[in-house]
Amino acid sequence: MQKFTAQLSQKEEIADNTFAFTYIKPKGFAFTAGQYVVLDVDESRYSDDRPSFRSLSIASAPSDQDLLFVMRGSDSAFKRSMIASEVGDTVTLKGPIGHFVLPEDERQKIVYMGAGIGITPIRSMIREELASGSERQQMLFYSNSLPSCAAYALELRDISLPEYKCVNTMTGLKDNISEDEWAGERGFIDADMIEEYCDYYKQAQFYIVGTKSFINAMKDVLSGMGIDERHIKVDNFG
């Protein structure tokens, strides 16, 4: 497995307790949209009994100039060290790794289903589709609890591709939140929502990213709609 050193060029909080880390792309580092790396902080500011490294999906596209990683904050030493990092700090990358990538056949229709921080490999894929001028039919269903924690929801909603659609849905909104405050969908992704927005779902390849419970819930929904498991790819974010 190849190893690279990457230098932090920017860090920002992009949603509630959600941080984006931009690194200068190391010379010779090449990847396919949807892949991940094993990232190790070179000089950790915190330590605990857990590993000092994590597997992180790449949120930027291969055609982007820099490398982008996104994570939720937690009390782990790894994440605390990442959040405390400063511009100029370095990390070690091992990879790229993974087969969670788009099919070469551009006629293959795609439905992405992402929850929370699971949006990162999907963002990479969609940005690369944009860069290549893809004309394939593709649909994103993106689930979050609240708009304030929905990383890149507006960016992905506004992607301009000829056969692309995005549905953002919030599962934690109270009934007293007005349409002026949130005009998108509410509630969990289900068969009714999929059928309403995607008339080609029976011919699509599904890409599901999120926690194990989200993945299992989406697989149950798709099974109930008659989708064969061979047409479902998953990326488990724990």
d(CA 151, CA 142): 10
Count the Cβ atoms, other than its own, within 10 Å of residue 121: 25
Count the Cβ atoms, other than its own, within 10 Å of residue 145: 14
pLDDT on residue 238:
63
Query: Domains, the chain, ranges and CATH?
Result: 3-97 (2.40.30.10), 109-236 (3.40.50.80)
Parallel/antiparallel/unpaired status of strands 109-115 and 138-144: parallel
Percent of the chain with pLDDT over 90: 89
Q: What is the mean pLDDT of residues 131-137?
A: 96
Q: What is the mean pLDDT of residues 150-166?
A: 96
pLDDT on residue 116:
95
Type and span of the H or E element at 196: helix 191-197
Parallel/antiparallel/unpaired status of strands 53-57 and 36-41: antiparallel
Query: Is residue 74 within 8 Å of 66, Cβ to Cβ?
Result: no
pLDDT on residue 179:
58
d(CA 138, CA 126): 9
91 Rama class: left (phi>0) / alpha (psi -120 to 50) / beta = beta
Q: What is the mean pLDDT of residues 75-91?
A: 96
In one-letter notation, the amino acid at residue 230 is R
Q: What does the mean pLDDT of the chain come to?
A: 95
Burial of 55 (0-12, 13-18, 19+ CB in 10 A): middle
Total-model pTM: 0.95
